[in-house]
Structure 1
Amino acid sequence: MSVIAELSVPGEDFGLGQFLDVVSGIAIELESMVPMGETAIPFFWVHNSHRDTFTANLTDQDVVNEISEIDTLENKTLYALEWNGETDQLFQAIQQQGAQVLSATGTPREWEFELRFPSHESLSDFQRYCNQAQISLNVARIYNPTRPDSGPWFGLTPIQRETLLLAIERGYYEIPRQCTTLELAEELGVSDQAITERLRRAIVTLVSNTVQFSTTETPEM
């Protein structure tokens, strides 16, 4: 039975995060990891105002083979990174346990992850690996997405729920769109980048706790 862990690691304990260092306080969003042989290609969203710094930093890294611009959406750009993943112990642990990266956001100081593991045993093995590799894990939450125990809002935090409801009320998901993330940010008193991340995490959480329910296991009542 799969299990989801929400955890964070210090920036210095995450090899990939170290050379993704951009302007202090600016977050990078890890969109997905696509398996390619023995490694995986990470896809990153970067705010357009910092894209030049981001690509310049990567160019100077020996473990980076190539960085490609994939797409642009509103005020951020999606990049694909070909790199030598063997140097990153955290990603080695994630791959060895067959875990799926549901979301990841980081700054030079800290990275926050939402990881889906095939079982509690694989999560325990992951924690044991990180402990032996001296990777500091701060586990905030562990839950099973196939059970109706994720809370009254399908696992959404109050902030995620508030942001998602406001986006719907203001017509953010209408066609044509009736408001922007900047307008939502101004109403909630945060940055538009924070709004984008809240909405993304909310959608991932909803999908994980609803449409991704197991078809072979019966939830405990």
Structure 2
Amino acid sequence: MAVIVDLTLPADTFELGQILRIEGSTQITVETMVPLGGRPIPFVQIQNGTRDAFERTVRDHPAVNEIQLVNSHDEETLYALDWDSSDASLLQTILDLDGVLLSATGTADTWSLELRFPTHSALSEFQEYYLEEDIPVSIKHIYNPTKPDAGPWFGVTPAQRETLAHAVESGYYSLPRNVTTQELAEQFDISDQAVTERLRRGISTLVSNTLLVDPETN
């Protein structure tokens, strides 16, 4: 059975934290990992960062081949990072164990990772690796995805996930409600009906792939 683990670790003990060095209140997020030629190519987004200084620092790292600007909007900038991952690196160990990096967010001091491993045995091997390497990992949660074919976000599409997350963060489900569907629609530049449909379908999919699954079938 697959298992998902949420963990944190110091930025200087994680290769992306060492390469993607940021300062102050800047936050960096790994949007996706694309395997090219056997190497993991991260697409990373920085927020509230100094773009020129960040690019210069990353390019100066000996493991980096290139960092390419993909898109920039307001205070968010997206890059593709081409780098040479060490065979003994934490990320390479995750890939060797058939693990998947579901999410990764970093600050100047700490990175938070969400990882999915195919079995508890693979997770145990990963834990043995970071203990042997003396990497101070802090485990926050370990849980099983409830439906094997639901995907990394329990079957929710990227648009549904983004809208649901923003609705929760903005207080749409608070009492009293802090934001309306019309206000959410304006933020996503879609219709009020489209927002309602995203929320409805997203919640329906989450419930179907979590609460309505027979645990004996996993």
TM-score (ref. length: structure 2): 0.71
In 1: Cα distance, 2:70 partner to 2:20 partner: 17
The match for 2:102 is 102
Superposition CA RMSD, Å: 3.3
Deviations 1:79-112 (A, max 9, x none): 0000011176211221111111111111121100
Pair 1:3 & 2:3 matched: yes
Pair 1:171 & 2:171 matched: no
1:178-217 alignment, distance < 5 Å:
none
The match for 1:42 is 42
- Which protein is bigger by CA-based radius of gyration? 2
The match for 1:118 is 118
Cα offset for 1:142? 0.6
Cα offset for 1:124? 0.9
1:6-25 alignment, distance < 5 Å:
6-25=6-25
Identity %: 36
Question: Does the CA-based 8 Å contact 1:93-1:130 persist in structure 2?
Answer: no
Question: Does the CA-based 8 Å contact 1:145-1:208 persist in structure 2?
Answer: no
Alpha-carbon distance change, 171 to 161 in structure 1, aligned in 2, over 3 angstroms: closer
Deviations 1:194-221 (A, max 9, x none): xxxxxxxxxxx989956777xxx95349
Matched letter for residue 169 of structure 2: T
Identify the range of structure 1 (43-52 vs 164-173) with the bigger mean alpha-carbon deviation. 164-173
Alpha-carbon distance change, 52 to 97 in structure 1, aligned in 2, over 3 angstroms: same
TM-score (ref. length: structure 1): 0.70
Deviations 1:119-156 (A, max 9, x none): 11111111111111111110000111216xxxxxx9xx
Question: Does the CA-based 8 Å contact 1:90-1:135 persist in structure 2?
Answer: no
Matched letter for residue 83 of structure 2: W
In 2: Cα distance, 1:30 partner to 1:206 partner: 25
The match for 1:81 is 81
Cα offset for 1:165? 4.6
In 2: Cα distance, 1:44 partner to 1:133 partner: 26
